[in-house]
Amino acid sequence: MGHFLVSAQQTEYGGLKWYLDYQQARKVALHSHKPIIILFTGSDWCPPCMALKKEVLPNRLFQEKAKHVVLVLADFPKRKPMDPMQKQKNRALAGRFLGQNGLPTMVAVDPKTETVMGHITGYNFYTHDISPHIRFIERMIQSKE
């Protein structure tokens, strides 16, 4: 299952639909009163990132929770060619929301104030424990209710 385009602005990743454009995602999030979750990842070179895509994102429970947020993908591939405009957008997002955190990191953003509500960095692919990511997304949904 490769990256098929859902619309020009969305892509499939780990069995979920992600916006590639933060501003568009923000409009949707404001309209639907949902928090934004940005996933900063290195899809083709970062082992915990690849494990997160394979183990966390397709998980039924995670997918269920993900319906209550607006997802944005900020990928930093090393081998896969990427549109320069998209690369620039992702870099700007990282400068704004990622701070000193490594990859993978999920950052929850309040679409109204554009402040960071929380983040979770890394994924332990030795234990295959996805519960921290489930709890993270649950907390972000609850804080918006």
What is the value of pTM for the model shown?
0.93
Would you state the pLDDT for residue 143? Answer: 80
CA angle 36, 39, 45 (to 5 degrees): 170
The full DSSP string for 44-77 is TT-HHHHHIIIIITT-HHHHHHHTTSEEEEEE--
Domains of the chain, CATH where assigned: 10-124 (3.40.30.10)
- Each residue of 118-142: pLDDT tens digit? 999 999 989 999 999 999 999 999 9
pLDDT at 8 over 80: no
Verify cis geometry, omega within 30 degrees of 0, for the bond prior to 104. Answer: yes
Would you state the pLDDT for residue 9? Answer: 82
- Each residue of 88-125: pLDDT tens digit? 999 999 999 999 999 999 999 999 999 999 999 999 98
Write the DSSP symbol of residue 81. -
Would you state the pLDDT for residue 92? Answer: 97
